[in-house]
A and B are shown apart, each in its own frame.
Chain A
Amino acid sequence: MPALSSNPTSAIPAAESAPSSGGDAAGRIALLLLTIKGLGWFVLAGLLQVLASVKMHGPLFLADFPAFSYGRLQPAATTALVYGFLTQIGLAVGLWILTRLSRSKLALAPVVIFATVLWNLAVFVGIIGILCGANTGFPWLEMPRQILAVLTLLSVVFTLSGLITISFREERELYPAAWFIVGALFSLPWVLGTATWTLLFQTVRGAVQLSVNGWFIHAFTWLWLGFLAIGALLYVVARVSRTELYSRSSAVFAFWLFAIIAGWGGLMASAPLPRWIVSVSGTANLILLVPIALIVHTLWKTSAPEAADKSEAAALRFSRLSIQSLAAYGLLSLAFYAPAKNAVLGLTLFQPGLMNVFFTGVVTLALFAGLNLMLPELLGNKERGVIKGSTLFLLLLGLAFTTLPLILGGMKQAVLWADLSKSSAEVSRGLNGFIGPATLGYIILFVASVLILVQLLGSIKTACMEFFGSKTAPASKR
């Protein structure tokens, strides 16, 4: 795959590449490599998730292969999605936006390429490790601790590249998208490194592990993935709508609120921790609604209903759906974390449903909107590499099927558990009707991911052939 992407990009004529982009050869290879690898992980994560989901109602499926038990497939799928897909696509889009906003090329591009290769190798080894039973036991930090340490070090490379890139800007003032992306790049090594250190090297004891793990998941969700998604949206929506960002002060205010609040939330009301920790977390979860509302408001006011340029229509549609998902996520998470006397949603199917709203609805759609602007530029044609509206339909179908049944199922599950006359086998049986559609949703998402990857590889191949065509026979170019 790397060979494929390196050919067309290494020698595209200078005039073809926009002078303001990450347009030198190394920069293009770095961004394309991150994209291809990321989409590859999207496919793999989808496959693992489909298998895991099938195992939920067919426990005898693949029962004689210990590597494919639900307890190993599920963490492998989450890891592939978070560290393979979302993180790499996020890096590609985030770094590209920084090159655009600073009107300079991607700094340290060769090192970024090297780090990307190592990152993929590390995640691959980590996932094999999980499937072989080397799971650490901490959600979202399941890869062996050596791998997590390597990933932390590699993340510093991406951070440095982004910082140097943005430091070449001419204007002193940063566009808000850059605030969020630079913030995300700062957060990644900190959050990943300290959590790995506290949980897996200098270990803490007892329920403090739950507190640290909760802190990590919430900080990683908002300060890394969330910041990247918001950064991409702030850039894409304003650019595609051909308008200025509705309110800079709102965006920056929301940035600081996120930074202050995000690390405190995320513990379930039922956690076996002293009451004050859980209460503090509940308060943070409530206050977090304010920056979410502010960002949604600003983006919605900025967004035009229709894209000015037809080729950017899909990007705008992706963005608007991502904004709506963000609003939905805020409200649903309030319900999820709310303390309740009787039935609680924590530990039910509501949680994977909620995570799917965030992963697929908010982050994936926002980053795909970014890809829709980035790929045409990198591939030298404004129609090329665009993720089409038809694929968007598949993604939305998958999103609906992987969220609504799980959210409803989670509510039913909470009620069923609270009914003490029901046996646990009855409760499990009562949920089958909800898990089935979710499996279908995962299959749809998997198909969509394959389509997107195939489309991208096709576009790169076209760009490649066009370039070679133009080189060997310049006359036949147009």
Chain B
Amino acid sequence: MNHVTLIFIGLFVTFVGSWTGMVVAPQIQLGRQVPTGQMQPAERPPVEGDPGDIYPLARVGQAEQGHQIYRKEGCYYCHSQQVGVTQADLRWTQDGRFSVHRDYLFDQPALFGTQRLAPDLSNVGVRLPDAKWQMMHLYSPQALVEKSSMPPYRDLFERRKVDVKFGPSSKALDFSEEQRKALRLAPDEEVVPKKQATELVAYLLSLKQNVNLFEAPMYAPKTNGVAGVTNTVEAASPEAKK
């Protein structure tokens, strides 16, 4: 046989092989797990606490917009969204569990991340549920976490003079005096989140993998003490910083 033809046919067969194994088979097995309301409960053994066909819940529109901003800004080049089973992974879950296929059903695209240069965000909505803290952290990470290597996303905020007539905006970020000084904010200046910042924070707060699933049960409560809560608390409370 002509060698080129042989290479063509051989490569085609091997290509179809790996394609079947790594793409088609997972899709056949997992593809039937479809979003809320369309899942067949009979597909999975009944388990107490498994929310069956109502997990995960679809994101509200604002959080879905935020998901797209997360993608645009490439947040996933530093922050992963996948919790494994090692000791190190306990850090990213609170009363948690490891991540499974079902957690990502609504993510299009699912942003698993390629690096963990910064904390994993799979459960950031559980670990750091304070929207105000999230806003301030996005505007100036260094003001809240000392020597943070996260870049500030000032672009998502508007820095402006306080309106003389109406006074400060109710949405303005609530920085302390020291923080204002460090950010060189004049007394008559305020920082107000744009639409994108609000959406991004809504998305971050929607990230919760804290539902007991059949294939991934929540860890028994005794692991909670180990679970790196120290780390999250330190970052979570603005008070601890002050």
Contacts and interface: CB of A to CB of B under 8 A. Distances in A.
Interface of A: 55-57, 59-60, 63-64, 66, 69-72, 74-75, 133-139, 163, 166-167, 172-174, 179, 182-183, 186-187, 190-191, 194, 198-199, 203-212, 214-215, 219, 223, 256, 259-260, 262-264, 267, 269-274, 277, 280-281, 340-344, 346-349, 351-352, 413-414, 417-418, 420-425, 428-429, 431-432
A311 B25 CA distance: 52
B173 interface: no
Choose among A137, A194, A280, A418 the residue with the greatest number of B CB atoms under 10 Å from its CB.
A137
B59 to A, nearest CB: 14
Contact of B4 (A75, A182, A207, A277): A182
A264 B21 CA distance: 7
A63 B151 contact: yes
Contacts of B86: 270, 340-344, 418
A272 B117 contact: no
A344 B74 contact: no
Given A183-B7, A343-B88, A429 B155 contact: no
Given A256-B10, A270-B82, A343-B87, A69 B74 contact: yes
12 contacts: A55-B151, A63-B154, A139-B114, A182-B7, A205-B30, A208-B26, A209-B110, A263-B17, A269-B84, A281-B22, A341-B87, A423-B235
A187 B107 CA distance: 29
B73 A69 contact: yes
Interface in B14-59: 14-15, 17-19, 21-23, 25-27, 29-31, 33-35
Contacts of A352: 115
Nearest to A162: B4
A277 B22 contact: yes
Contacts of B114: 139, 347, 351
B231 A59 contact: no
Given A347-B82, A351-B115, 17 more contacts: A59-B150, A66-B73, A69-B74, A179-B7, A204-B27, A207-B30, A208-B26, A259-B10, A259-B11, A260-B17, A263-B21, A272-B83, A344-B84, A344-B86, A420-B227, A420-B230, A425-B145
Given A194-B19, A206-B105, A425 B235 contact: yes
B176 interface: no
Contact of B3 (A179, A351, A420): A179
Nearest to B228: A420
Contacts of B129: none
B148 interface: yes
- List the 5 closest pairs (A to B, CB-CB), nearest first: A71-B74, A263-B18, A270-B84, A137-B109, A133-B72
A431 B30 CA distance: 38
Choose among B18, B72, B228 the residue with the greatest number of A CB atoms under 10 Å from its CB.
B18
Nearest to A174: B3
Contacts of A74: 74, 77
B131 interface: no
Given A135-B74, A139-B114, A206-B33, A264 B22 contact: yes
Contact of A280 (B21, B78, B102): B21
Given A59-B148, A272-B98, A263 B15 contact: yes
B132 interface: no
A425 B116 contact: no
Band of interface residues on B: 35 or more
B112 to A, nearest CB: 5
Given A209-B104, A211-B22, A424 B112 contact: no
Nearest to A415: B88
Given A208-B101, A212-B23, A425-B235, A272 B112 contact: yes
Contacts of B26: 207-208, 211, 273-274, 277
A50 B141 CA distance: 23
B7 A186 contact: yes
A274 B21 CA distance: 13
Contacts of B147: 425, 428-429
A348 B29 CA distance: 30
Given A60-B152, A420-B91, A263 B14 contact: yes
Choose among A138, A263, A341, A348 the residue with the greatest number of B CB atoms under 10 Å from its CB.
A263
B231 A423 contact: yes
A31 B159 CA distance: 52
A72 B74 contact: yes
Choose among B73, B100, B108, B151 the residue with the greatest number of A CB atoms under 10 Å from its CB.
B151
A347 to B, nearest CB: 4
Contacts of A75: 74, 77
B170 interface: no
Contacts of A209: 104, 107, 109-110, 112
A215 B78 contact: no
B156 to A, nearest CB: 9
A413 B101 CA distance: 26
A172 B105 CA distance: 52
B110 A166 contact: no
Contact of A56 (B117, B141, B226): B117
A306 to B, nearest CB: 33
Interface in B55-99: 71-78, 80, 82-91, 98-99
